[in-house]
């Protein structure tokens, strides 16, 4: 009998974390937990999610908590672009073209003349796309820069996931069409849906993760954490908040590829 280590599903983990936040908010309200905002001097008291107000809030915002999750849309866009790369054969062509050693004979199959032409066209299209982005960012027009001329909070950074996904889709389309992999629009759409299992898994995990983060905000436990970590500095706090939003993605990637190996 094989000894296999049991791995919890990420959705289960975030569901239990959300339940823990609910329980912690109730305990904190019972004991009157509060903190003082140093900027305004306002006293922040923790609110319970188990009371009538908390229940009404949850029922009204359960959908918006999920749809407004910060890491939902950008990840789905990039995953669709990666799916096009894999489905069109561009990723496999790059691996066979630039990998010096292969473990199997099938992996060492040389690129055909049509595949080489398709790969060159895809790389050329990608280079032109990057050049257009650089021109739109650093030229005198600078339409992708912010109002103040900076890159922070600019259209480039805010729409980076879309720009990255579009670039991958363009290169995948060029390779797929020229190599003969894509003959109709349905073939290209199938490429966008290539990683549908990963997308569905991420949607399920993101639902529970979004509720957990929303629970922290409503109960004001996030305000308490913000005050307690004020010694880290605002930059470190913002970076930590940004990284926490993408923990579900890291968990899903790890779980997905772990199950694929099994």
Q: pLDDT of 166-221, one tens digit each?
A: 999 999 999 999 999 999 999 999 999 999 999 999 999 999 999 999 999 999 99
Among 262, 259, 257, 255, smallest CA distance to 12 is for: 255
More confident residue, 130 or 32: 130
Predicted local distance difference test score (pLDDT) of residue 153: 81
Domain boundaries, the chain: 10-71+202-261, 90-180
Tokens of 218: 């409503």
| Structural contact between residues 14 and 248, judged by C-beta atoms closer than 8 angstroms | yes
pLDDT band at 127 (very low <50, low <70, confident <90, very high): very high
35, pLDDT greater than 90 = no
**What are 38-78's pLDDT values in tens digits?**
777 778 889 999 999 999 999 999 999 999 998 999 999 99
Predicted local distance difference test score (pLDDT) of residue 6: 76
Predicted local distance difference test score (pLDDT) of residue 107: 52
Between CA 145 and CA 147 the distance in angstroms is 7
CA distances from 93 to 87, 99, 135 (A): 11, 10, 29
**What are 226-250's pLDDT values in tens digits?**
887 877 777 777 788 888 889 999 9
pLDDT band at 1 (very low <50, low <70, confident <90, very high): very low
**What are 95-120's pLDDT values in tens digits?**
888 774 555 544 557 888 899 999 99
Using left for φ > 0, alpha for ψ between -120 and 50, and beta otherwise, residue 118 falls in alpha
How far does Cα 204 stand from its chain's mean position?
Answer: 13
Predicted local distance difference test score (pLDDT) of residue 97: 81
Alpha-carbon dihedral 102, 100, 80, 125, rounded to 10 degrees: -140
**What are 129-149's pLDDT values in tens digits?**
999 999 999 888 788 988 887
Q: How many CB atoms lie within 10 A of CB 11?
A: 21
Between CA 246 and CA 252 the distance in angstroms is 10
Predicted local distance difference test score (pLDDT) of residue 192: 92
């Amino acid at each position: 009998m094989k000894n296999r280590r049991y791995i919890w599903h990420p959705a289960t983990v975030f569901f239990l974390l959300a339940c823990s936040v609910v329980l912690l908010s109730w305990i904190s309200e019972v004991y009157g937990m509060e903190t003082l905002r140093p900027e305004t001097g306002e006293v922040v008291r923790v609110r319970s999610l188990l009371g009538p107000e908390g229940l009404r809030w949850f029922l009204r915002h359960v959908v918006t908590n999920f749809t407004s999750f910060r890491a939902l849309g950008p990840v789905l866009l990039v995953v669709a672009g990666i799916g096009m790369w894999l489905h069109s054969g561009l990723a496999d062509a790059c691996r066979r073209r630039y990998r010096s050693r292969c473990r199997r004979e099938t992996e060492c199959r040389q690129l055909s003349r049509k595949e080489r032409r398709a790969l060159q066209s895809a790389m050329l299209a990608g280079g032109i796309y990057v050049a257009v982005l650089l021109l739109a960012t650093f030229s005198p027009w600078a339409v992708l820069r912010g109002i103040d001329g900076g890159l922070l909070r600019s259209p480039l950074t805010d729409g980076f996931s879309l720009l990255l996904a579009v670039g991958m889709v363009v290169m995948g389309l060029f390779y797929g069409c020229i190599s003969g992999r894509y003959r109709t629009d349905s073939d290209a759409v199938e490429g966008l849906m290539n990683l549908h299992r990963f997308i569905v898994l991420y949607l399920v995990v993101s639902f529970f993760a979004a509720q957990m983060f929303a629970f922290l905000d409503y109960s004001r436990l996030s305000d308490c954490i913000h005050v307690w970590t004020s010694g880290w500095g605002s930059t470190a706090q913002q970076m930590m908040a940004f990284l926490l939003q993408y923990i579900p993605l890291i968990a899903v990637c790890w779980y997905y590829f772990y199950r694929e190996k099994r």
